[in-house]
Each structure stands twice: as C-alpha cells, then as structure tokens.
Amino acid sequence: LKLREIWAIRIRLQLAGSTRDLAMFNLAIDSKLRACDLTRLRVSDVCHGSRVAARATVMQQKTQRPVQFEITEQTRASVEAWIQAAALASGDYLFPSRIHGSPHVSTRQYARLVHRWIRSIGLDDAAYGTHTMRRTKASLIYRRTKNLRAVQLLLGHSKLEST
C-alpha cells in the first residue's frame, strides 16, 4: 500500500468509529507481523501496565525467532482506545473472537477484514491480502533508504535472499 492509501483507510475507519479495525490496521502496518502472529497477540505483548509500549517483541510462530517492532504514537493511541472500549485485561487476546469456540480472531477473518479495508478505498481487493499489510511498512522504508539489510531485520528474515 502507498502512504495515501494507508491514510485513506485510516480516515474511513476513524469516521466509521471502527475502533477494533483501526487498532488492528495500524498494528498490522507497524508490526509487520504475519497474520497468524498478529491475530494471536495478547494485551501483555504490547502493553506495560496500562500503557501501550513504544516497542514490542514477539516470538514468531513460523520461525520461532523473536522479532522486535516499534509502535508509533498513532498506533498506540488506537490500540489503547480499543483495549479500553473492549475492557481487555493483560492476559486477554488483543483481538478476541466473537465466536465462543475461538479465543481470538482467525486468520481467515483477518483476511476478510483486509479485503474490506482495501475495497473501501476503491482498490481491487484481489490484488491485496494479509501479507500486503506485512510488506507495506518494509516497502516504504526500502523506497526511502534502499537498505535491504534493514528490511531483512524488520521482517525477521534469516536469509537476505528471502527478503
């Protein structure tokens, strides 16, 4: 996604009052996590006490390696608003499921949300998916710096070739 498309989605989510979706969208962009890792985040993964931290470290499910990411001020505000609105406790999943049998939003549900966000700004959602969210910030940083090694570290890739 380009910067103006990110802002278009953010503004639509804010105007719609979609607190959860805005927090999820912002955190997906900032964290660069895979869908399986994003949906399994717990409040304690991003919070220190009642405040959302400026940095978080999460163990990736696929690689079993920790990855650290920065949480921007805008994302911290949206995540704090979501935690407060949903009355979530420290051990709760950050994005709990509304379905009784599932503890957190599924990756499939997250994929449906991503497609809805993309469609809302008039783009063809067939060309975008959950991995788009993971790559967005990395591609913006690469365009600005041309530093592939930095992008490799941000995405938690062990090999430069996969980056």
* Residue 121 CA from chain centroid, whole number: 18
Q: What does the alpha-carbon distance between residue 115 and residue 129 come to, in Å, rounded to a whole number?
A: 7
Q: Provide the mean pLDDT of the chain.
A: 91
* Least confident piece of the model among 53-57, 143-147, 150-154: 150-154
The pTM (predicted TM-score) of the whole model is 0.88
What pLDDT, on the 0 to 100 scale, is given for residue 141? Answer: 77
For the residues 6-20, what does the mean pLDDT come to?
96
Residues pairing with 42 in the sheet:
93
Give the residue extent of every domain in the chain.
Answer: 3-162
Q: What does the alpha-carbon distance between residue 56 and residue 70 come to, in Å, rounded to a whole number?
A: 7
For the residues 23-27, what does the mean pLDDT come to?
97
CA triplet 67, 141, 38: central angle to 5 degrees? 35
Residues pairing with 70 in the sheet:
55
Q: Percent of the chain at pLDDT above 70? A: 100
Between residues 60 and 154, the one the model is more confident about: 60
Confirm if 51 and 75 have CB atoms less than 8 A apart: no
What pLDDT, on the 0 to 100 scale, is given for residue 143? Answer: 83
- 28 pLDDT band, cuts 50/70/90, is very high
Read off the tokens for 87.
């009355």
Helices marked H in the chain — which ranges?
3-16, 19-31, 35-39, 43-46, 73-86, 107-120, 130-145, 148-155
pLDDT higher than threshold 90 for residue 160 = no
Q: What does the alpha-carbon distance between residue 56 and residue 58 come to, in Å, rounded to a whole number?
A: 7
What pLDDT, on the 0 to 100 scale, is given for residue 163? Answer: 75
The CATH number of domain 3-162, selected from 1.10.3720.10, 2.60.130.10, 3.40.1210.10, 1.10.443.10: 1.10.443.10
* Residue keyed to tokens 């399994």: 40
pLDDT in tens, 78-126: 999 999 999 999 999 999 998 877 899 999 999 999 999 999 999 999 9
What pLDDT, on the 0 to 100 scale, is given for residue 100? Answer: 75
The DSSP 8-state label assigned to residue 98 in this structure reads S
